Copies of this chain bind each other. A is one copy, B any other.
Amino acid sequence: MLTPPKKGQYALRAVYELAKRRGQGPIKISAIAEAQAIPHRFLEVILHQLKGSGLVDAKRGYYGGYALSKPPADITVGDVLRHLQRETPPGQCVACGSQQSCPFVGRCAFSLLWQRVKNAAYEIYDSTTLQDLLDDHAPVEALKTMGAA
């Protein structure tokens, strides 16, 4: 239900790899694909899409490749995920995705609930930077919500 889509996972693994190699100049798609076990052609699509958000810069040609446009500490997981899914049109019911008309628009007993879950998720995403992931520990203020498996 709330397992992130492959595309998002690939994107995060890719920028994570870029963060790890920051300072080594542009990293080729093929290098990232190999290191993170991502289909090469698919990763092309994903990184290109990410470029549109300004989180990564691309360089073409012989010594081309991708690089983060900001320090890993300034990029959050939320930044990455947000730019992959087209955001839901404002005023639209969170639950009734697509442009289907919700039969309970305005008086839905659950819309608030879905909204809260979504906010809780992005609160975590937005408070986790690539640097946090590199350091292999969760941000301090979020740890208390962890609980057991």
Q: Find the B residue at minimum CB distance from A136.
A: B109
- Asked if A118 contacts B2 (CB within 8 A), the reply is yes
Q: Return chain B residues, CB-CB under 8 Å to A112.
A: 138
Interface of chain A residues 89 through 136 with chain B (CB within 8 A): 90, 94-95, 97, 103-104, 109-110, 112-121, 123-125, 128, 133-134, 136
Q: Are A124 and B120 in contact (CB under 8 A)?
A: yes
**Interface residue total, chain A, C-beta cutoff 8 A:** 45
Q: Say yes or no: A3 contacts B97, CB within 8 Å.
A: yes
- The reply to whether B119 and A145 form a contact with Cβ atoms under 8 Å apart is yes
Q: Is the CB of A124 within 8 A of B117?
A: yes
Binary per-residue interface labels of chain A (29-42) against chain B in the complex, 1 for a CB within 8 Å, 0 otherwise:
00000000100000
